[in-house]
Structure 1
């Protein structure tokens, strides 16, 4: 893999009108200095302010900026915004970062260099976070729990600033609050995950839109964390988890019947317990079989995503670099500029 094949920078934004101009200026300076070919993919997650309009007008001051903007119909969340961006990347290297200027674009070259040298995923570690303990302590706790459940050995699971090889991340199935667990999902499919320190800056404009504080944020991701634990172990084979639970229930039913017979236990209680365990075993095996069929059908499907995108903007510089010319073929299909059909 070579960075000359292009780099895609994916940025979710929600009501960040005050940060659009300074963020694009920093990205323009860093990317032009270090890389020959790149694209900025910004997903406006249904902003209610002028974020989208300012992104469109950026070509006036930065005419050579290869910018592609996808605007969501509503605010579907940071995970959905990242999934939208990742589904259209064309560069062989993918970088993600937040749109609030707390991630420093100047860290991108070092992340990419580490990726090219020895990794499939490189995660940023905000060792010196510019936030109070109400946000940093839950993040550290989450990193420890995720590490125990998945084997992912990194310090910071909440840092959006990361670099990926496109073949690892572009087709991930993301749901809920799973953007925090993308490295764990990559690890589950055999990716080499590394980590390096990055800068973290205090927010100077606006207020956080996606981030939640304290225990509220921690409890919100617990259901996804449980799902992640199962997926990382049984990805593509749900029959293994449901099947073993079902077999366990059937074995327990047999042991209960045998124990009750030898011990002379009350017949009604023993029969009732055995029937409950038998029923649970059959149901669990049935659920596992159904989930297995669903997983296989999904794997064979086209992978179409929900119609989140209302409209799209592509700068002239982006079109020159990334839209296929007559007779050319690309590894990824590009979308059509302008509003999408509902």
Structure 2
């Protein structure tokens, strides 16, 4: 079994449960729309558009989906409303398949985390505003890598918030991996420097560095992340190998706004969307994937260690639209 045994019955049940609120929100509304209707017409599509937007799929992405369904209805001439659920599932799946989202292999391990092919150490820089679950995501990632037998080192470079340093230290103790920290109000780049240095000394496979969870000003954020990158590159010129943005799915369109702000000031090449289990706004995953064309690697569908799941678009669509 792979570390991310995504297709296990337990994982699938967790995913289904985590998306239950969003699924119920969509299907309950669709059911009310099609009552007394025999075919998918303009009125039904207008209602469907409102449903998708209210589920935080996003306006532009919703319009794309509706246009696809309109073309399909026009092509087939007559489409029964009872087929609407299946049509919606198929068109969302097709839209996601066109985006830059990497599916996982049968083992459950993402393509980019097939550690046999990764540089060693692999440096992962994690960014995101306070409260999105950034530090918890790092802890859960560390747990999953450590469980797979990988050497992991964490760096507490979010030095503007005391709780962030303490929280990461607790995760390190819980998981059993070292945490490099200088305390609060210290230079984040110095923490990053020492983290990479320690990771190289101990032969780490994965180095994960937490960063300040503040947008404060774009210039300061850009300068801060730029400095961290420069000091890391003194050891590893190609590092960081990945910059992951963590977003809170329960905030809906606010998550989209955060993604826009961060992508303006730094190169983001992976996304994690958390807290989907407590919201009816899970459609935001579809909109974010469509707008930014950045791989969604993980989704949070519960509070347990293993409830940070590798994102697989087909499994996601299946859970979201399964009756």
Task: Give the TM-score normalised by the residue count of structure 2.
Answer: 0.28
Q: Which has the higher contact order (CA 8 A, sep 6+)?
A: 2
Kindly name which structure, 1 or 2, has the bigger radius of gyration based on alpha carbons: 1
TM-score by length of 1: 0.27
